[in-house]
Amino acid sequence: MTNVAPKGPRSLQVLLVDDNPIQLSLLRHLFQRHGHMTIEARNGAEALIVLATEFPDVVVSDCVMPLLDGYQFCRLLKDDRATRHLPVLLLTAQGTGLARFWAKTCGADRFLVKGRDLDHVVEVAEALAEQSPRPRTAHAIPKLAQENFGVDAIQRRLAQALEQRLVETALRDSIARLYTSDHDTPHLIQGFVEILQELVLPGAIIVAYLGEEGLWCHGVHGSSSSTEDRQALEKAVAEQGLFQPPMNCHWHPASDDDERRRSLRDPVLRVFSATTPGYPAVGSLAFLTERRSAEDFERLFEIAAEELGRLLCLEDSRLRLYHQAIRDPLTGLYNRRHIFDMLEMELDQCTRFGQGLSIMLMDLDHFKAVNDRFGHATGDQVLSVMAQRMAFGLRKVDQLGRIGGEEFLAYCPQTDLEGARSLADRLREQVMRDSVPGLPPQDRMTLSIGLATWEGGEDTAERMISRADAALYQAKAEGRNRVAG
C-alpha cells in the first residue's frame, strides 16, 4: 500500500516497515507532515517484495517483527549489491541489552529507541538519505526479489548472510593477527597478500605501500596471469596518483594447483585505496580476477582494503614514532642515545668475531662564533648542512650520529687506526671544500677530529670515547681543522 503526500522541497520516498498498525500510522503521519512520501510493509519479507518494484531513499524499520525481523531484513539488504547503500534506520522499544549491538552488527546506519528518540526519526532519516552515496536513478532489483519469496528462500539467504559475516570476521581477525611485535613492513604486506590471494586467484594481486623509506610493492600471480596482466595492474595502481616514485613490484608465483592453472574467464581489474579515516592514503590494493569472483567477494575486498589501510597506517605511525625516537630532529642523524646503543652492539660483534673498529669524535670549529654573528637560525642551518656533508663523506658501513651541540660521533667497522685516519682526513677536506649556505662565500666550516680504536676484549665504548675525546682536545689545541689520535 502506498500513501502519497504533497511533494515538498526536500521530498523523500521512505519505506516504513512495522507489524504494529498503530506505530505504522504514527510514522506515516510524521513523515507525510514533513512532505515525504511513504511506502509501507508489515515485515521484512513484505518489504523485500516492495523493493522489487519501488526505489525508496531510506528505510525505517522496526526490529521485532514476524517471519523476517528488522535485523535479518537489514542484514539481507546490506549483503545485496543492489541495496547495500540504501540507508537503514532501525527502531526498537528496547533501549538496553543486545538491541543496539545487533543493530550495529547487522549493518544498520542508525538506531533509535521508540518513545525516547521518536521525535527525531524524520530528522535522522533525512540526514541518512542526504549522506547516502547511493545513486538515485538506476534501479537494481535485490537478488531475493528475483527468487521465490518462500520461507526456504529467505532462510537460505539468511544462512548465506550469516556465513558472509563469519567469513568477514575471520578475514579481519586473520589480518589483525599479522600485526605482531616482531614484524617488519615487508613481512606484514607479504602476510596480507598470502591471506587475500586465496580469494582472488586465479589472477594476480599487488599491494603498494609508501612509507618513510620509499615505495614498496609486493605482488603474487597465478599461472593464468600474463606479464601484460601484471603490468596492467602496476599501471592501474600508478594511475591512482598516490605514488610519485616509479613502482618496482616484487612479483612471486602463487602455489600452482589445478584450480590456479585455469584460464581467466571474463577478467576484471579492481583497485582500492588502503585508507583509514583521519589518515592520508599510504597504500593501494589491486587485483585481477574473474568478474564473477570480484562481484561475489566485493564486500570482502572492501573489508580487506579497509584492514590493509588500518595495518599500513599503524605501521606508518610506528615507523614515524620509531624514527622520532632514534633521530636528531635538526640534522636527521642518529641521536646520542641511539648511536651509543649501536656502538655497544658493534663492540659485541667485535668481541664475538675478533673484528676491528675505530671511532671518530668530530667537532665543528668556531661554531659558537657562527651563532653569535649570524643568529641561531643560521647556526641550525649550518649544522644541518655540515651533518649531511659528513654523512655523504663516510662509507655506507660507517654510522654517524649527533651527540650534542656541534659534536658528532661516527664509528667505522673493520677499520684500524690508520684506516680511520685516512678516512678522517678525506672527510675533513671534503666538508670544507664548499661554502655553507647562510655564511659569507669566503667563510668555510672546518672539523677537528679525534680518533680511537678498539683495543681488545677488555675495551669498552666509554673508554674508546674517552680516548677519542682526549685526541679531539689535542686537535683543537694544535690549531683545529686537523685529525689527532
Active-site pick, 46, 239, 406, 478: 406
Pairing relationship of beta strands 2-3 and 37-41 according to DSSP bridges: antiparallel
Helices (H), 42-150: 44-51, 70-78, 99-105, 121-131
- Residue pair 464/359 in contact by the 8 Å Cβ criterion: yes
User: Helix 367-374 and helix 376-393: axis angle, to 10°?
Assistant: 140
Provide the residue count of the chain.
485
- Residue pair 233/287 in contact by the 8 Å Cβ criterion: yes
Beta-carbon contacts of residue 37 (< 8 Å; ≥ 6 apart): 2, 3, 4, 5, 7, 11, 12, 13, 14, 31
Three cell numbers at 224?
593464468
The half-sphere exposure of 219 on its side-chain side, counting CA atoms within 13 A, is: 26
End-to-end C-alpha distance for the chain, whole angstroms: 97
Q: Comparing C-alpha atoms, which of 443, 471, 465 is closest to residue 385?
A: 443
Is 406 one of the annotated active-site residues of the chain?
yes
Quick one: which H or E segment has residue 164? helix 151-176
Three cell numbers at 428?
675533513
Pairing relationship of beta strands 407-413 and 447-453 according to DSSP bridges: unpaired
How far, in Å, CA of 78 to CA of 85, rounded?
7
Three cell numbers at 408?
658528532
Q: Comparing C-alpha atoms, which of 412, 280, 405 is closest to residue 342?
A: 412
What residues are annotated to the active site? 406
